[in-house]
Structure 1
Amino acid sequence: MTVTTALPELADGRARALARGGSAAWLLLLCWPLWSLLEAEPGIARVAWASGGVALFAGCWLLITWRLFSARAGSPRPWALAGLLGATLALFPVLGRPWAYVCFVLVVSALAASLRPVVFVAATVVAAVVDVVVLWVLGATFAGIWWVPLVIAVQAVVVQSLKQMGVLVARLEAARAEVAQMAVENERLRFARDLHDILGHTLTSITIRSQLAARLARTDPDRAAREMTDVEHAARQALDEVRHAVTGYRAPALSEELDRAARGLRAAGIELEVSPAEGPIPASAEIVLAWAVREAVTNVLRHSRAGRCRIDLSVDGTAAGLEVRDDGTPSNDDSGAARAGHGLTGLAERVAEAGGRLEAGVPPGGGYRLFVRVPLEVS
Structure 2
Amino acid sequence: MASEAVIPRADRRMHRARQATLLSLATGVWASVLLPAAGLTREPDTARVAFGAVGICAFAAAQTAVLYAAVTPWLAQRWRRRTQLALAAVAALTVPLVAPVAAGAWPTWAWIGAALVGMAPLLLGLPGAVAVTAATLLVSAGVAWWTGGSVGRYVVVTGGVGVAVAAVNWLQVWFWGLLVEARQGQAAQAQLAAAEERLRFARDVHDVLGHHLTVIALKAELAARLAPVDAQRSGREAAEVQRLAAAALTEVRETVHGYRAVDLGEQLAAVAEVLRSCGVRCTVQAPAVEVPQPAASELAAVLREAGTNVLRHSRAEWCRIRIDRDGKVATMTVVNDGADDRGPDDHSHGLRGLADRLATVGGELRVRRQDAVFTLEVTVPVSS
TM-score greater than 0.5 by the shorter chain: yes
Deviations 1:352-378 (A, max 9, x none): 1111111235x123232221111233x
CA–CA separation in structure 2 for the residues paired with 1:322 and 1:46: 92
Aligned equivalent of 1:186: 196
Number of the residue aligned with 1:37 = 40
* 1:373 alignment counterpart: 379
Count residues with an aligned counterpart: 367
Residue 113 of structure 1 aligns with which residue? 122
SS of 2:322's equivalent in the other structure is strand
Question: Which amino acid in structure 2 is aligned with residue 346 of structure 1?
Answer: G
Match of 1:305 in 2: 315
Q: Deviations over 1:167-196 (max 9, x none)?
A: 434544554454444344333322321211
- What is the alpha-carbon distance in structure 2 between the residues aligned to residue 116 and residue 145 of structure 1? 23
Question: 2:268: which partner in 1?
Answer: 258
Name the CA shift for 1:52/1:7 in 2 (closer, same or farther; >3 Å). closer
Instruction: Answer whether contact 1:81 1:111 (CA < 8 A) is retained.
Output: no
Q: Return the offset for 1:259.
A: 1.4
Cα deviation for residue 162 of structure 1 reads 2.2
Out of 297, 307, 317, the residue aligned to residue 287 of structure 1 is: 297
Q: Which of 48, 52, 55 does residue 53 from structure 1 map onto?
A: 55
Partner of residue 22 from structure 2, selected from 8, 20, 23: 20
Contact 1:356/1:375 (CA < 8 Å) preserved in 2?
Answer: yes
User: 1:58-137 to 2 correspondence within 5 Å?
Assistant: 58-71=60-73, 79-80=85-86, 82-83=88-89, 85-90=91-96, 91-94=98-101, 97=106, 99-100=108-109, 102-103=111-112, 106-117=115-126, 120=129, 134=144
For the residue of structure 1 that corresponds to 2:279, the secondary structure is coil
Structure 2 residue ranges without an equivalent (≥5): 1-6
The alpha carbon displacement at 1:292 in A equals 0.9
**C-alpha deviation, 1:277, in angstroms:** 2.9
Deviation at 1:241, TM superposition (A): 1.7
SS of residue in 2 equivalent to 1:305 = coil
SS of match in other structure, 2:58: helix
Instruction: Please state whether the residue corresponding to 1:311 is helix, strand or coil.
Output: strand
Counterpart Cα distance in 1 of 2:13 and 2:374: 57
* Residues 214/337 of structure 1: CA separation in 2 closer, same or farther (3 Å cut): closer
TM-score normalised over the length of structure 1: 0.78
Provide the identity percentage: 34
CA–CA separation in structure 2 for the residues paired with 1:339 and 1:252: 28
8 Å CA contact 2:17, 2:176 repeated in 1: no
1:71 maps to amino acid: P
Note closer, same or farther for the CA distance 1:104–1:81 as it changes in structure 2 (3 Å cut).
Answer: same
Determine if contact 2:337/2:374 at 8 Å carries over to the other structure.
Answer: yes
Q: Structure 1 residue 355 and structure 2 residue 383: aligned? A: no
Q: Using the TM superposition, give the Cα deviation of residue 323 of structure 1 relative to its aligned residue in structure 2, in angstroms.
A: 1.2
Q: Return closer, same or farther for 1:7/1:125 CA change in 2, 3 Å cut-off.
A: closer
Q: Which residue of 2 aligns with 1:209?
A: 219
1:196·1:343 contact (CA, 8 Å) conserved in 2? no
CA RMSD of aligned residues (A): 3.9
Asked if structure 1 preserves the Cα contact closer than 8 Å seen for 2:18 and 2:176, the reply is no
CA distance in 2 between partners of 1:243 and 1:286 (Å): 20
- Structure 1 SS opposite 2:319: strand
Q: Which AA in structure 1 matches 2:220? A: S
The one-character-per-residue Cα deviations of 1:10-36 (angstroms, maximum 9, x if unpaired) are: 643554355335534543342564476
The gaps in structure 1 that reach 5 residues or longer are none
Structure 1: distance between partners of 2:280 and 2:378: 22
Shift of residue 202 of structure 1?
A: 1.0
Give the structure-2-normalised TM-score: 0.78
Query: How far did 1:8 drift?
Result: 6.0
The code of the aligned residue for 1:60 comes to A
Whole-Å Cα distance in 1 between the matches of residues 292 and 119 of structure 2? 64
Aligned to 1:296: 306
Say which SS state the counterpart of residue 266 (structure 2) adopts. helix
- Structural mapping, 1:312-351, within 5 Å: 312-330=322-340, 335-336=342-343, 341-351=348-358
Which structure's residues are more often helix, by fraction? 1
Paired amino acid for 2:211: H
Q: Structure 1 stretch 311-320 or stretch 217-226: which is displaced more?
A: 217-226
1:104-253 correspondence runs (5 A): 106-117=115-126, 120=129, 134=144, 138=149, 151-217=161-227, 221-248=231-258, 250-253=260-263
Identify if the C-alpha distance between structure 1 residues 293 and 127 changes in structure 2 by more than 3 Å, giving closer, same or farther: same
Match of 2:4 in 1: none
Taking the aligned partners of 1:164 and 1:12, their CA distance within structure 2 comes to: 14
Cα pair 2:21 2:176 within 8 Å, conserved: no
Distance 2:315 2:221 in 1: 15
